[in-house]
Copies of this chain bind each other. A is one copy, B any other.
Amino acid sequence: MNWRPAKGVTGPDPERSMSYFGKQYHAPGTAPGTLVPHAAADAPLVIHLMDYTETEVEEVVLRSAADCVPYLDRDSRTWIQVNGQVNPETLRQLGELFDLHDLALEDVLNTGQRPKMEVYDEQLFLTLAMPVHRHGQLQTVQISLFVGPGYLIGFCPLDQDLFEPVRKRMRKPNNRRFASRGIDYLLYALIDLVIDEGYPVLEAFGEQLERLEQEVLARPSHRTLTEIHGLKRELLLLRRMLWPQRELVNELLHTEEGLIQADTQVYLRDCHDHTVQIIELLESFRDMASSMVDIYLSSVSHRTNETMRVLTMIATIFIPLTFIVGIYGMNFEHPSSPWAMPELGWYYGYPMVWGMMILVTSGLVWFFRRRGWL
């Protein structure tokens, strides 16, 4: 798969999967709605249009945003998907055509937004965070969606069409689901895809967590701890994105605008359920990761203790013995004074010393065993 993250995407740093501060912003005091192009775009701009009625589906790749005009007046639903690094001109064109609010356009450009929903008259603006976990890296990609009567405009800063699975379902000739329902069902389908991407990510986390747990219980190393920390970090950053997403879906469910039909609400409730489950999984993963740090710390203490015990035993046995043999190494003039170590001259003096040493050792070993140190 051809995966090249665009420049405007959160955390494109190859070493770190997600940076702590992943927000793009204008200098404080800049006028709201200012559209400044970001650094040279890596991901070329592709504008994909999908126009469908109850009977037909038409797909076009547009040269410029203005080319979508002919599709707008028709009594059909139109989905314009802008993939890649969007330029300010395209945004301005779309803004004028669909009467998009300048603050919303600014948010499309400044990725790293907190997922949120904004209602402008009869238009909805949503930013979503899609977690992706590939090549050992976790990234969140900002998906921006404008929904109005009969149209949906999506933005994705990657040069890849993440919504291909939805498109595939729409193209199926006998699929009446999209055809017979309003644009809100398309909105649901996209949100559902974005949210469900959380499952494989969390499954990967779950597996990593289980591997780390076995490691931390069996043979913990400093690397294990570093990895747990990295996991906690990724969970934390992901959580920062997913909590507001949950609120967003909830808000969408309770929005009073006529945009979401009762029929689609059932589907959105299912979506909401998924966000809740994903967050609960996340929180329980965080809890377990913290518990593993405790296990790790205890393991290190435990090993220090084990090492200490060995040292203590060896030292405690041999230091007294060394003292004893040291005594008989003293150069007192044994023959001249009867007080000066007469044992040195005894016939059984040497075995006696050994006996003494064996006695001392046995005594210490017995003492250690009784105290539970051996």
Write the residues of chain A forming the contact surface with B, with a CB cutoff of 8 angstroms: 16, 19-21, 23, 25-32, 101, 103, 113-114, 116, 118, 120, 163-166, 168-169, 175, 177, 192-193, 196-197, 199-200, 202-203, 205-207, 209-210, 217, 222, 225-226, 229, 232-233, 236-237, 239-240, 243-244, 266-267, 269-270, 273, 276-277, 280-281, 284-285, 287-288, 291-305, 307-312, 314-316, 318-323, 325-334, 336-337, 339-341, 344-351, 353, 373
Contact = CB atoms under 8 A, between A and B. Distances in A.
Nearest to A197: B28
Number of copies: 5
Contacts of A116: 273
A199 B113 CA distance: 12
21 contacts: A20-B205, A23-B281, A28-B197, A29-B196, A114-B276, A116-B273, A236-B284, A236-B287, A240-B280, A297-B301, A298-B300, A300-B301, A301-B304, A315-B319, A318-B322, A319-B319, A322-B323, A328-B330, A329-B329, A332-B353, A339-B347
A164 B337 CA distance: 91
| CB-CB nearest 9 A-B residue pairs | A29-B165, A21-B206, A28-B196, A328-B330, A325-B326, A20-B206, A311-B312, A329-B329, A340-B350
A200 to B, nearest CB: 7
Given A26-B196, A236-B284, A318-B319, 14 more contacts: A20-B284, A29-B165, A114-B273, A114-B276, A114-B277, A308-B308, A310-B316, A311-B312, A314-B315, A318-B320, A328-B332, A329-B330, A340-B350, A341-B350
A25 B314 contact: no
Contact of A31 (B29, B114, B163, B177): B177
Given A16-B210, A101-B266, A318-B319, A298 B293 contact: yes
Contact of A333 (B103, B217, B344): B344
Nearest to A116: B273
A194 to B, nearest CB: 8
